[in-house]
Amino acid sequence: MDQALDITLTVNGAQVTRRVAACTHLVDFLREELGLTGSHLGCEHGVCGACTVRVDGEIVRGCLMLAVQANGCKVETIEGLSDSGELAALQKAFHGRNALQCGFCTPGMLLAARDLLRQNPRPDREQIRAHISGNYCRCTGYQAIVDAIEDVVHGQG
Ligand code: FES
Ligand code: FES
């Protein structure tokens, strides 16, 4: 049996304490232990970006980080960032541009896009492409996603 450890972290503004197996990945902890299923599991190898969450202000791959590594950290997921309204402009623009089809990539894509706009509120199209290049989408061909992010940059989101 894997070693279990007690962790305390803040998830979407609420303090959470749980005993977790040391090998539990953060995205599994969020999904299975806390029921926050908006962060998705795709490749489980750090490639696709579907599991993107924010830890202490930085986006990370939830499939590469262990839950115990988030002990003491502030974790934000698509659920919390949606509820707070932080993603509202991006969500509206994604909707307006049909920038999602199955939606599997969308939570990670929104977090990556928001991360870019926090760092650089006026990215050009190439910078948008570069920043979301670690988030795979199997449906849209990316064009509409870049258009949607560009709309927010230009205040049309
Ligand atoms: S599931 Fe984490 S990067 Fe693909
Ligand atoms: S909308 Fe289906 S993977 Fe992106």
Q: Is 143 a residue whose pLDDT tops 60?
A: yes
pLDDT at 156: 73
Asked if residue 41 has its Cβ within 6 Å of ligand 1, the reply is yes
The answer to whether 10 and 73 are in contact (CB under 8 A) is yes
Q: Is 1 a residue whose pLDDT tops 60?
A: no
Domains and CATH numbers, the chain: 4-81 (3.10.20.30), 85-153 (1.10.150.120)
Asked if residue 139 has its Cβ within 6 Å of ligand 2, the reply is yes
The model's pLDDT over 15-69, given as tens digits with 9 standing for 90+, comes to: 999 999 999 999 999 999 999 999 999 999 999 999 999 999 999 999 999 999 9
H helical segments located in 57-142 = 78-83, 88-96, 106-119, 125-131
* DSSP letters for 9-33: EEETTEEEEEEEETT-BHHHIIIII
Q: Is 157 a residue whose pLDDT tops 70?
A: no
pTM: 0.96
Q: Which of 31, 47, 106 to mutate to test the pocket of ligand 1 (most atoms within 8 A of CB)?
A: 47
Distance 134 CA to ligand 1 centre (A): 10
